Amino acid sequence: MAAQPLLFTALQIAEVTLPNRIVISPMCQYSAEDGVVNDWHFAHLSSFAMGGAGLIFCEASAVSEEGRITHGDAGIWTAEQAAAWRRITDFISGQGAVPAIQIGHAGRKASMQRPWYGNGPLGEADTARGDLAWPILGPSDLAMDDGWLVPTAMDGDDISRVTRAFAEAAKRSLDAGFQALEIHGAHGYLIQSFLSPISNRRNDGYGGDRSGRMRLALEVTETVREAWPAELPLFFRVSSVDGIEGGWELDDSVVLARELKERGVDVIDCSSGGNSPQGATNAPGKRGPGFQVPYAAAIREQTGLMTQAVGLILSAEQAEDVLQSGAADLVAIGREALHDPFWPRHAAEALGCDPEFDGWPHQYGWWLTRRARALKTMGL
């Protein structure tokens, strides 16, 4: 009998056991109202639980109102927002998957249009729609691009307030039923904008050399780790590289990951880019299947930390190769899951692990077994 694929082998992180190593990458839906998630989020995320992913990241949820990317972002800065997540986390857990949340602050990329309205800074058409721009924060008073809002360079009080907001958000995430939490430290949002010399031009203790630029990321992680139970996994998403000359590089990510490890981070989620107006999924440059996997491999090898690979991981075989090669401990899918929420179940089929549809929800599996038999009889 063929060996059990790694993709479908359980993995323990801290005290939580994932049933397999397929992760749904966090994906904003820009469809919340006042940060409160609704039926759309329930249907969207429930489909991934039915689809068999082991760990399901709910979208980047803002730790404060000004930290939203768009008016439609989910939030976790109020008890009402936390309560709205509960129905979703209960369903995910009920299907045997682990519900996870990504918490973040958009920094100088706050106050943007929802993607389908332009994906740029809010303008007149958005104002007419009722989506008004709001004042934004960043490490320095440097706009993302021409025509974008100029952030206010954060002072010490702003930094303490936002750091506390991350810790409060972590506590609320626990109340909401999440069992894993990720700090969003990537894609040009607040934490990454402090890390990168492209966006951080400060000359106080939160800027300057790499250790100054890392300080916010490390302080946020310390306070979140204190607020988030030790037995529950803590992930940190990095932009492994800015991909812009003079920007944050892979060596910097390795150094950061070592510091994060000392502060109790369990997994580094290895994305890249985003510190430019194009965003992380649209950034220019050559990309192909698994283009970010080498970052996960380097960080894993040089830090001994678990890593999560993400970005154009398309097939079951490719995902299995990523794990077999030792590049990562987990593979995350984003757009593939939008295209096929049942991607994990189909991957199991492709790798020959679930010929009798035993892993499927029984409401579906019972029928699919019979469908398979009927198709076989028909020679199809």
Ligand X SMILES: Cc1cc2nc3c(=O)[nH]c(=O)nc-3n(C[C@H](O)[C@H](O)[C@H](O)COP(=O)(O)O)c2cc1C
CA distance 284 to 287: 9
Contact between 333 and 289 under an 8 Å Cβ cutoff? The reply is: no
Q: Nearer to ligand X by C-beta: 23 or 162?
A: 23
Q: Does 283 bind ligand X (CB under 6 A)?
A: no
Q: Nearer to ligand X by C-beta: 153 or 176?
A: 176
Q: Does 32 bind ligand X (CB under 6 A)?
A: no
Q: Does 59 bind ligand X (CB under 6 A)?
A: yes
CB of 209 to ligand X, least distance (A): 26
CB of 22 to ligand X, least distance (A): 11
Phi and psi dihedrals of 261, rounded to 5?
A: -60, -45
| From 5, 19, 26, 197, residue interacting with ligand X (rule: CB under 6 A) | 26
Q: Does 217 bind ligand X (CB under 6 A)?
A: no
CB of 106 to ligand X, least distance (A): 10
| From 84, 170, 280, 316, residue interacting with ligand X (rule: CB under 6 A) | 280
Q: Does 21 bind ligand X (CB under 6 A)?
A: no
CA distance 211 to 258: 12
CB of 291 to ligand X, least distance (A): 9
Q: Does 27 bind ligand X (CB under 6 A)?
A: yes
Q: Is 189 a catalytic residue?
A: yes
Q: Nearer to ligand X by C-beta: 53 or 153?
A: 53
Which span sits near ligand X by CB under 6 A: 8-16, 21-29, 166-174, 246-254?
Answer: 21-29
CB of 269 to ligand X, least distance (A): 8
Q: Does 312 bind ligand X (CB under 6 A)?
A: yes
Among the listed residues 30, 117, 189, 206, the single catalytic one is: 189
| From 20, 25, 81, 239, residue interacting with ligand X (rule: CB under 6 A) | 25
Q: Does 151 bind ligand X (CB under 6 A)?
A: no
Contact between 151 and 142 under an 8 Å Cβ cutoff? The reply is: yes
Q: Does 44 bind ligand X (CB under 6 A)?
A: no
Q: Does 16 bind ligand X (CB under 6 A)?
A: no
Which span sits near ligand X by CB under 6 A: 130-138, 206-214, 260-268, 329-337?
Answer: 329-337
Q: Which residue is nearest to ligand X (CB)?
A: 334
Give the CA dihedral 169, 170, 173, 174, nearest 10 degrees. -140
Q: Nearer to ligand X by C-beta: 92 or 153?
A: 92
| From 336, 345, 349, 353, residue interacting with ligand X (rule: CB under 6 A) | 336
Residues involved in catalysis: 189
Interface positions with ligand X (CB under 6 A): 25-28, 59-60, 102, 184, 186-187, 237, 271, 280-281, 310-313, 333-336
